[in-house]
């Protein structure tokens, strides 16, 4: 429906939203912006955007609006509030929720938008402000394919890749999976550094060991690409299951030793504690085959 002359709107132009809107301006699109802070919109206005006081006003002059605010409550207010996007949008317009919110919020707002003839996409972005600045975000979209295509000219101004994950909510589900992996990776590296420094090692030395052995990439790929993600059934048998039993034992032993060291040097490692407890799950061991250690009893 929309050509490259599509009119773009952005509600929330902070750390991520501002460079996203700037990329749309740089691409030659007509851009409308709205933010509670006047200082946030000023550089975009100087670059050619038009500023408005409410989301409804932005929607009235836009074909595709990206919402880049903090949380579920702000997203609900921006989209469905008294002066929200649905109050100003026209049938056929597309609203893209780029904030990280819960799936129920996405589905609720998508249903309300649909009643007004407006398409709502969940369009979570990954890459942070540096990628937004360079137009290399990865955007994970859920919603109707036709609406995704209508929004594409705007989304691709700040994205290097647009992944259509499925129907409403699918984009946010994929974003939450990605965030889960990211935060757990941060937790693992943080606890590794805590233990290293408590032992008197420089964190850079640990980084060299990890980089030299490619351990992070190996475990990451193993977790994502192995043939199954669920535990083996209770009646399973064969060499693969025996490998799971063996590796679970090794993991529990190694983690127990690391945790004993942490206690000796005064480092608290709550994620490592949980990893030791969940070692059987990590290697897909049937619950019936798990043998708790004395520390688990």
Report the greatest alpha carbon distance in the chain: 68
Q: Tokens standing for 27? A: 């691409």
Paired residues of 30 in beta bridges: 7
Residue 118's contacts (CB-CB under 8 Å, 6 or more residues apart) are 85, 86, 89, 90, 91, 92, 93, 94, 95
Q: Which residues are catalytic?
A: 175
Q: How far apart are CA 279 and CA 170, in angstroms?
A: 29
CB proximity list for 90: less than 8 A, separation 6 or greater: 59, 60, 117, 118
CA gap 19, 156 in Å, rounded: 13
For residue 137, what are the β-bridge partners? Answer: 159
What is the spatial distance between Cα 33 and Cα 124, in angstroms, rounded to a whole number? 19
How far is the C-alpha of 98 from the C-alpha of 11, rounded, in Å? Answer: 10
Phi, psi for residue 160 in degrees, rounded to 5:
-95, -20
């Amino acid at each position: 429906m929309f050509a490259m002359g599509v009119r773009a709107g952005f509600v929330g132009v902070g750390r991520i939203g501002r460079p996203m809107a700037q990329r749309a301006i740089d691409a030659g699109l007509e851009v409308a912006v709205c933010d509670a802070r006047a200082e946030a919109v000023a550089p975009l206005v100087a670059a050619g955007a038009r500023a408005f006081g409410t989301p409804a006003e932005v929607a009235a002059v836009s074909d595709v609006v990206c919402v880049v605010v903090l949380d579920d409550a702000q997203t609900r207010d921006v989209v469905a509030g008294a002066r929200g996007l649905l109050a100003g949008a026209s049938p056929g317009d597309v609203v893209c929720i780029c904030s990280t919110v819960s799936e129920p919020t996405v589905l609720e707002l998508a249903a309300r938008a649909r009643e007004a003839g407006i398409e709502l996409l969940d369009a979570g972005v990954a890459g942070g402000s540096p990628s937004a600045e360079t137009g290399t975000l990865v955007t994970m979209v859920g919603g109707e394919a036709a609406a995704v295509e209508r929004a594409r000219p705007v989304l691709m101004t700040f994205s290097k890749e647009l992944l259509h994950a499925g129907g409403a909510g699918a984009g946010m589900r994929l974003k939450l999976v990605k965030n889960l992996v990211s935060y757990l990776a941060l937790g693992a590296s943080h606890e590794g550094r805590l233990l290293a420094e408590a032992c008197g090692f420089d964190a850079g030395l640990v980084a060299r060991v990890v980089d030299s052995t490619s351990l992070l990439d190996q475990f990451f790929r193993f977790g994502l690409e192995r043939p199954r993600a669920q535990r083996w059934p209770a009646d399973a048998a064969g060499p693969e299951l025996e490998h799971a039993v063996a590796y679970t034992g090794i993991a529990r032993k190694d983690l127990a030793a690391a945790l004993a060291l942490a206690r000796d040097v005064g480092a608290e490692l709550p994620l490592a504690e949980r990893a030791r407890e969940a070692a059987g799950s990590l290697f897909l061991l049937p619950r019936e085959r798990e043998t708790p250690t004395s520390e688990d009893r």
